[in-house]
Chain A
Amino acid sequence: MARKKIDESRRDFLKTVGVVASASASLTIAPEARARQALATLGPGEVPVTLTINGRRHQLNVEPRVTLLDAMRTRLEITGQKRVCDRGACGACTVIIEGRTYYSCSMLAIEAQGKNIRTVDGLANGSTLHPVQQAFCDNDGLMCGFCTPGFVMATVALLEKNPNPTPEQAKRALDGNLCRCGTNIGVLKAALAVKGGARG
């Protein structure tokens, strides 16, 4: 298993190197493309991207293929949201955009521009936890903690939309997040415990 992982990343690396070599070749079509149509073609090299995360604007240069999650974690040191499956199948990377939950691993950074992106890093007020974070602590809502930032954001999104959810509504809203440690019961308890206190 571990060995396969290493092989895979080495292969990816080799591929990436190959691609960089051919990227310069594909750049030569740019003048022709410009003549044919006015639409801007960005990349494949790095392009300037502006992201608004937890109310702060960040300017960075990334290739169009970089996901929002990787841009946050590897370029901006905003590491609250975790990278687990990287395939939209676990929820560890969940962010809130315009009141809704998104998997930041399955969204390109370039497409996240102009939006107000919220992560777990922006929840606490100084050393005072957000009521949802506090409720997770009080209700045994975490063990290893890897899924927790995603669950916390999904819970915040739920409670901001529906401050007094029924257990059924809470279950459905937290359906997009998985926990390997089995904290789900505690998470549900936490979500219901902050009833009415979400805006804290």
Chain B
Amino acid sequence: MKTFSYVNATNEKEAVAALSPSTRDGHGDALAAARSGHQPSKVPIAGGMDLLGLMKDYIVSPDRVVSIKGLDQTIASGDGGLRIGAAVKIADLAEHAAARKMYPALVTAAEGVGTPQIRNMGTVGGNIMQRPRCWYFRNEEFNCLKKGGSRCFAVDGENQFHAIFGDGPCHIVHPSSLAVPVIAYGGRFRVAGPNGAREIDAGEFFQMPNANLYGENVLQPNEIVTHVILPAPGQRSASYEVRFKQSHDWPLAAASVNLVMSGSTVKSARIVMGAVAPIPWRVQAAERMLAGKTITEGVATDVANAAVAGARPMTGNQYKIQIARTAVKRAVLAAGRA
């Protein structure tokens, strides 16, 4: 790990100030730097679970690390939903009584993240902002497209855990388990930056590689996520994750389903798949199929088939189509039972 200086920001104002480029950093356009493949020279650290790994592997080598553990660590209710501070530990989210009751799809995902230690250390904000797990990305020796190089090594290489949707040019799957249910619940991110705070629809936060090759979302380098804001959930919701190992690993495929019901009939649905595309993958065609239906095994099968209909696997990940299909089907059935 390269050396760096350390700033402990105790609130979001201090964090933004400490992350803002100084005049010495050129013209202060950190965004332009990030967009051209150069890593920002100042980065926030929350739990450090992801960042320290990136730094030990020389994938990210900032000059300054700004601790944002001082951001909001509370979960508060408001407007029929919950407002979750970015510094809330994943373990605290998983154990939170109101969250468990209102957002089972999110809590299921939180309980599945990594290991107990990772959930004790990792924060909600850090989970959303964690970088991709593509092994070429994580290996310093491979200067792939995403790091400013000229090719994606996954195309002809080992791609069994890569995307089955999205058509590149980078084929990562988004690694955040929590982002998937947050989008299913229609959540928003509150973001603070030098010009104040704004809220961004979680569904519009993440970006495909053709829009942003070097990052995964719209956040600028001197902005931070301060809160996840969840509106009132539908009456029924659930997540289902398929894993190669029960711990120490990311899901092979996941699905979150949020249903607004009218009696036992689905009025409207949101279905989002995880670990299948460079962003959490919302499937509106499948959502529309659920509207007006009562949930049965047959309906869940049809919806799951529709969800994976457009999949375009790579050389080694065809099997993920069936796994994603199963995740959607089981999430729909679990929501139906909820």
- Residues on A close to B: CB < 8 A? 15-16, 19-20, 23, 26, 29, 32-33, 36-37, 39-45, 47, 63-65, 67, 86-89, 91, 94, 100-103, 106-108, 110-111, 154, 172-173, 175-178
Contacts and interface: CB of A to CB of B under 8 A. Distances in A.
B309 interface: no
Given A32-B24, A39-B18, A111-B67, A64 B6 contact: yes
Contact of A43 (B3, B14, B45, B116): B3
A172 B1 CA distance: 32
B91 A110 contact: no
A91 B24 CA distance: 41
Given A86-B56, A100-B91, A176-B247, A19 B22 contact: no
B90 to A, nearest CB: 12
A192 B23 CA distance: 60
B212 interface: no
Interface stretch (B46-54, B228-236, B257-265, B283-291): B46-54
Given A33-B22, A107-B48, A39 B5 contact: no
Nearest to A36: B22
B115 interface: yes
Interface stretch (B78-86, B117-125, B186-194, B325-333): B117-125
A88 B22 contact: no
Contacts of A176: 114-118, 247-248
A106 B49 contact: yes
B249 to A, nearest CB: 9
B248 A29 contact: no
B69 A111 contact: yes
Given A101-B117, A108-B52, A44 B4 contact: yes
- Between B14, B58, B247, the greatest number of chain A beta carbons within 10 A of the residue's beta carbon is seen for B247
A91 B9 contact: no
Contact of A63 (B3, B69, B116, B247): B3
Interface residues of B, number: 39
Given A36-B22, A64-B65, A100 B52 contact: no
B48 A94 contact: no
Contact of B17 (A32, A39, A63, A67): A39
Contacts, number: 119
Given A19-B2, A111-B69, A154-B116, A106 B121 contact: yes
B297 interface: no
B133 to A, nearest CB: 11
Nearest to A37: B17
A45 B6 CA distance: 10
A178 B7 contact: no
Interface in B60-97: 63-65, 67, 69, 91
Contacts of B18: 37, 39
B246 interface: yes
A173 B5 contact: no
Nearest to A176: B115
A39 B7 contact: yes
A103 B121 contact: yes
Interface string B10-22: 0000100110001
A172 B3 CA distance: 36
B81 to A, nearest CB: 27
Given A33-B22, A37-B17, A106-B48, 11 more contacts: A26-B63, A45-B3, A86-B56, A88-B49, A88-B114, A88-B117, A94-B117, A102-B117, A103-B49, A154-B116, A173-B116
Contacts of B6: 41-43, 47, 64, 108, 110
A13 to B, nearest CB: 13
A92 B169 CA distance: 38
A178 B245 CA distance: 12
Contacts of A101: 116-117, 120
16 contacts: A16-B3, A41-B7, A42-B5, A44-B4, A65-B3, A67-B52, A103-B117, A106-B49, A107-B52, A108-B52, A110-B6, A111-B45, A176-B117, A176-B118, A176-B247, A178-B248
